[in-house]
Amino acid sequence: MKTVEIYTQPRCGFCTAALRLLAKKGAPVTEFDVSRMPGKRAEMMQRAKGRSSTPQIFIGDTHVGGCDELFALQDAGKLDALLQA
């Protein structure tokens, strides 16, 4: 299963929802708290082509986007395949 990297911040309901879905899938997750880790927000924005909202989710080398995009993949039946690819 591919490792998921997710950029989060405290008290972010979308971050929590995304993390719950990924945990339910059993995905290995590396979480970066952009409010507590110097330089991680800039790194996130560079990787996410300027997007500054959290969460920003990467599965392997694929930038999924945010929580809405993650759940859209799930609803379309494509999340499992992306995690396994």
Residue with tokens 């929590």: 16
Report the top-level CATH class of 4-84. Answer: alpha beta
Summarised one tens digit per residue, pLDDT across range 11-46 is 999 999 999 999 999 999 999 999 999 899 999 999
Q: Where are the domains of the chain?
A: 4-84
Strand order through the sheet with 62-65: 29-33, 4-8, 56-59, 62-65
What pLDDT score was predicted for residue 33? Answer: 97
What is the pTM for the complete model shown? 0.95
